[in-house]
Amino acid sequence: SRLFVSWSAEGIPLGKVKNRDNGIEVRLSMSDRKGKTAGQKIERGTALISTVTVMPAGKDLRNVVVIIPLPAGLEIENPRYSGDGEPLPPFVRAEARDDRLLLYIEKLEKRLDWKFILRAVTSGTFDVPQISAECMYDPAVSSISGGGRIEIR
């Protein structure tokens, strides 16, 4: 008798990855309320103005999903509008979960910059997962960027 075995492993690599852009580009930057870029060491209680930038490369895109996984220690404040955040454009929907923020973009014709607030709530050292974007019905159009570590004191 024969035994057939199949095994696969899947996960998010730790640390920073090389940016990969195929037909779309996604980036995330974080700064304090004064506009100073947030470093790897953040004081607990600090509000971070986070800017996600999504750009099509050449052609208009439809049905784009942006996945922004959060490092432990950070929480999303109201993703629809919060302080220095911005209201969502009419063709974008945000879904906040405990561990990530999802953006669903119906049509992406030009660069989209959107700000939302993250707050450092738990002390410790945490891995920062990479963010990604892809067309839901054409996964060959995708982008991944970012990653690293932060320390919340």
Say if strands 100-108 and 61-69 run parallel, antiparallel, or are unpaired.
antiparallel
Average pLDDT of every residue of the chain: 88
Identify which has the larger pLDDT, 76 or 17.
76
pLDDT at residue number 28: 95
pLDDT at residue number 82: 46
What is the CB-side half-sphere exposure of residue 114 using CA atoms within 13 A? 26
Residue pair 84/90 in contact by the 8 Å Cβ criterion? no
Q: What would the two tokens of residue 49 be?
A: 């103005």
- With a CB cutoff of 8 Å and minimum separation 6, the contacts of 71 are 126, 127, 128, 129, 150
- With a CB cutoff of 8 Å and minimum separation 6, the contacts of 109 are 56, 60
Q: Is the pLDDT of residue 138 over 60?
A: yes
DSSP code, position 71: P
Give the strand order in the sheet containing 61-69.
20-22, 138-145, 131-135, 61-69, 100-108, 92-96
pLDDT tens by residue, 63-116: 999 999 999 999 998 755 545 567 778 889 989 888 999 999 999 999 999 999
Average pLDDT over residues 139-146: 94
Give the domain ranges of the chain.
23-152
Q: What would the two tokens of residue 145 be?
A: 């960027």
pLDDT at residue number 38: 80
CATH architecture, domain 23-152: Sandwich (2.60)
pLDDT at residue number 73: 94
Percentage of residues in the chain with pLDDT exceeding 90? 61
DSSP code, position 62: E
Residue pair 103/113 in contact by the 8 Å Cβ criterion? no
Q: What is the pTM for the complete model shown?
A: 0.83
